[in-house]
Amino acid sequence: MGDTETYTVTGPDGEEESFELPAGLVDVLSEQGEPSTAVVSDVVVQAMAQQAHVIVHHSEGDVPEDIAEMEETAAELFEERFGQSLEDALGHSH
C-alpha cells in the first residue's frame, strides 16, 4: 500500500472519525493554492447532496417529508457552495 494522509471529521456533538486517503490525491483534485481541507469538504458536501437526491428522487415509493426536506436543504447548500444547482451538476432534473 502507498502512502496515506489522515483527515478527521468532527460532528456537531463533538464525536470524531478519522479516515485515510492516498497521499497526494486531494492535491490532484484541488485548484492551485486551495487548502486540502476545502477540497475534502467539497467532496463531502457533493456526496451527501447526491446521496440525498438518490434517496428522494430515485427510490420506489413515497419518501417521508422530513427526508424530502433534508434533500431540499442539501441541494440549497450545494448551490450556495458551488454556485450552480445540484440539478445542473447532475445533468438532470425532476
Per-residue pLDDT tens for 49-59? 999 999 999 98
**Mean pLDDT of the region 54-65:** 92
Domain coverage including residue 22: 4-90
Question: What is the model's pLDDT at position 26?
Answer: 97
Domain total for the chain?
1
The separation between CA 30 and the C-alpha centre of its own chain, rounded to angstroms, equals 15
Per-residue pLDDT tens for 4-28? 999 999 999 999 999 999 999 999 9
DSSP state string for 9-76: EE-TTS-EEEEEEETTHHHHHSPTT--HHHHHHHHHHHHHHHHHHHHHHSSSS---HHHHHHHHHHHH
Would the pLDDT of 94 be above 90? no
Q: How far lies 11's CA from each of 14, 15, 18, 26, 64, in Å? A: 5, 5, 11, 21, 24
State the Cα torsion 15-20-21-26 to the nearest 10°: 50
